[in-house]
Amino acid sequence: MMDIFVEGGRTLIGGELIETSLQVCGSEIVSLGENAAQGGLGLDAGDLLVLPGIIDLHGDAFERQLMPRPGVDFPVDVALIDSDRQAIANGITTVFHGTTWSWEPGLRGADNARSLLAAIETQRPQLAADTRFHLRQETYNLEAEAEITQWLADGRIDLLAFNDHIETSLHNPKKPEKRIRMAERTGLTGEAFDLLVQRVISRADEVPSSIARLALAARAAGVPTLSHDDETPAMRADFRKLGVAIAEFPINEETAIAAAAAGDFIVFGAPNVVRGGSHTGWTRASDMIAKGLCSVLASDYYYPAQLLAAFRLVADGVLTLPAAWALISSAPASAAGLTDRGVLAAGRRADILLIDDSIAMRPRIVAVIANGRLVHLTDARRLLHPAVTSRKAVAAA
């Protein structure tokens, strides 16, 4: 692996932007503030921001590569490679693919969950981003419990979320489009889908005990857990008692306040910030952030959103850049138990972004270093002479 020297740049160090340089050796940052380095690869970061790589705890945009239209499938390996390129191009160096295993067949069925997990494990060495498996277990998917428990014991799951979208599957005259989309992705007829839903709902009394057993298995395996779309403080408290310490997309401020008071991590979607509100009409993420009720922003369904959201929060005067960047770097690292990344410091994993912020709210990724490798570069003029990487040394010569 080639050593890399990043010269200059407004670098995020310990919550401050400091003009300095970084030296990368192997997969780690080995020093800060060095003026020159001999050999290896040099990058001129003058006038650029140098920031830690983005960590995405919840992203399911890869589903569009798997099934760009209802009933139109593409190979899992092709979808993963394309998703990896998109993630890296948007500064995401650690990506948790949010894979839903539901009681429904099709895109979110058992076969897809199994094949995606196997593909991630097989392709992981070829992917530029550190690609991890975030299993989103639909809590009514009772038949999957034993297999998921085994996956946890075998160390194959990196995050486990508890989802409950059973209400979406029911007839709702006010929001019929959600149920229609859900039925379409299963490939079932309307009648067959209704029969399946009724069969699933008939076992509702078994769901709480299944959640408790899976939460216990996750704790034993050291896997962080999330509860999705918490509706009330009581619901959040019930999950917390099970050791589920991450509240993912609480749907109202009351629940977010309760989560924050208890010290839970609180995840909202970055697209919500970029668009100025939720597409579902639920909680406005920027308001929650301003009130200290959000600790992590995830890409959700749109990979560019985390990068754009951080800069929008700065432009809107909600947060400083260091505080906004923490929502997509150091905080998600802490939530996921990743102690080797999320900040730029000696001994940490070399996940580094060079960003042109000259146009307000339109940051441009210039270079991405992931695990010590230069994996994305949009401006070759930023490359310094390989034999003498410092601009000062080049000028002196």
Q: How far apart, in whole angstroms, are the C-alpha atoms of residue 123 and residue 49? A: 31
Task: Return the domain boundaries, the chain.
Answer: 4-52+343-396, 54-335
Q: How far is CA 158 from CA 121, 136, 144, 151, 303, in A?
A: 12, 11, 17, 10, 20
Tens digits of per-residue pLDDT, 277-332?
A: 776 666 789 999 999 999 999 999 999 999 999 999 999 999 999 999 999 999 99
CATH class of segment(s) 54-335: alpha beta
pLDDT tens per residue across span 322-349: 999 999 999 999 999 999 999 999 999 9
**What is the share, in percent, of the chain residues with pLDDT greater than 70?**
91
Whether residue 170 has pLDDT greater than 80: no
Backbone angles phi, psi at 129, to 5 degrees: -80, 145
| Residue 387: band (very low, low, confident or very high) from pLDDT cuts 50, 70, 90 | very low
Domain 4-52+343-396 has CATH 2.30.40.10: yes
DSSP state letter for 162: E
14/35 Cα distance (integer angstroms): 20
The answer on pLDDT for 132 being more than 90 is: yes
> pLDDT tens digits for 59-108?
988 888 888 887 788 888 999 999 999 999 999 999 999 999 998 887 78
Q: What is the mean pLDDT of residues 195-221?
A: 95
Report the chain's mean pLDDT, rounded to a whole number: 91
Looking at residue 167, what is its pLDDT?
A: 74
Residue 234 CA to residue 219 CA, distance in Å, equals 21
pLDDT value at residue 396? 45
* pTM of the predicted model as reported, rounded to 2 decimal places: 0.90
